[in-house]
Amino acid sequence: MRKLNHVQIETRHFFQTRLWPRSPRSVLKVREQAPQAKTKYGGNGGSRSGRGLSAAILSVLLAAGSISSANAQAPVSSLAESLHGAAKDAYDAAKLLEMNGDFGGALVKFRDSYELSKDPRLLWNMAACEKNLRHYYRAKVLMTRYLRDVGTLATPERRRSGEEFLVALRPLVSSIEFHVNAAGASVMVDGEVVGTTPLREPVGMDLGSHRLQVQKEGYRLYQQVVDLSGGTSQVVEVSLVPVAKAAKEPEVVPQPPATGGRTMKTIGLVGAATGVVGIGIGTVFGLRAMSKLSDSKQFCSGDTCDAQGVSLRDESRSAGTIATVSMIAGGLLTVGGVVLWLTAPSGSEVPRQGLERSIRVTPTAMGIQVEGRW
């Protein structure tokens, strides 16, 4: 039978007693054989050097066993299995939109699912959508967050893929460091505010053309268009100019609208025309009143009239009343329209402050009286 040295006996003893213990008799039998074994160097198994080497191997084996136990984990559920409720519904909708090429809609749904579940694995999906939308810098930010937050939910292969993803994005993104002479200014890229000065770190953006703006109250707006080739870093020096020190622009004095005179003339013309119509109506009813009065004379003797004469005189009085009212109203409108027309300022005339104009038309027994002040 092949003889076992002391180290082999101790190692076998560790596996038999720690990993799969046998019966006490078999263990005792192994222990009884240990003192009789010879070491490689000819000493007996109970020598000090043999015991030291044995202890070292046992400590390594114990450490390996503890590491293996620490790394043992329960299988991680897939993302689809981990989500529930509204987060799962949003995730399913996002996958369907992504399958149909609607990466913008898929990004919205993936973001909704992430806000509800806070599962960092969704950051991978969001980064993929941003990449397909050619938003490379946003994809970089999301993938960086994924690698930072995912922890043990990602396999080593998945992590390696994420790192390769970031490497592939390097030539597609650039950064700009803003040096601004005023604190508290808003920095905007393509119309979107990205921070307030002083900025703690450079601003990342995709390759291509971008419009830069720096704005602060009391200062002139700074604007610049830059073309980024990707994979580069630039420094933009911004010197905001206070409004008080800027070159004074010529003051533009607003001119009053030139439509005031035309409006007055238009009103005057309409009033005069309406007055003329009123006078015409008064004239018609006046003639009608005179005609009815003349026709009633054959049915009347002095102030005594039969029924026909009374009817004709009533119609004459009604027509006369209408004629009188129409003539007075028409006269007032005609005179007022003429006065407005005559007193309206010309297109280039600016009315003076405090200038008063008043017109008063008063009916009299002989006609109408017009009084005015201007």
The predicted pLDDT at position 84 comes to: 94
Report the alpha-carbon distance of residue 206 to residue 217 in Å, rounded.
29
Report the alpha-carbon distance of residue 311 to residue 366 in Å, rounded.
30
Report the alpha-carbon distance of residue 307 to residue 213 in Å, rounded.
96
* Lookup: tokens for 366: 């002989």
Domain locations along the chain: 6-68, 85-154, 172-245, 260-373
- C-alpha R_g of the chain: 53
The predicted pLDDT at position 247 comes to: 56
Q: What is the CATH number of domain 85-154?
A: 1.25.40.10
C-beta atoms surrounding 23 within 10 Å: 8
pTM across the whole model? 0.47
| Residue owning tokens 């960086």 | 144
The predicted pLDDT at position 276 comes to: 79
Report the alpha-carbon distance of residue 173 to residue 204 in Å, rounded.
7
The predicted pLDDT at position 354 comes to: 45
> How far from 284 is each of 190, 274, 291, 320, 324, CA to CA, in Å?
76, 15, 11, 10, 11
Looking at the domain 172-245, which fold is it?
A: Immunoglobulin-like (2.60.40)
**Tens of pLDDT, residue by residue, the chain (374 residues):** 444 444 344 444 433 443 334 443 443 343 344 444 444 434 444 444 445 444 544 443 344 344 333 344 456 789 989 999 999 999 999 999 999 999 999 999 999 999 999 999 999 999 999 999 999 999 999 999 999 999 999 999 999 999 999 999 999 999 999 999 999 999 999 999 999 999 999 999 999 999 999 999 999 999 999 999 989 999 999 999 999 755 555 666 666 555 556 777 788 777 778 877 878 887 887 788 788 777 777 778 777 777 777 787 788 788 788 878 877 887 787 777 777 767 777 655 544 544 455 556 565 555 556 565 55
Helical ranges in the chain per DSSP H: 6-14, 24-33, 48-71, 79-82, 85-99, 103-117, 122-132, 136-149, 156-169, 260-296, 307-343
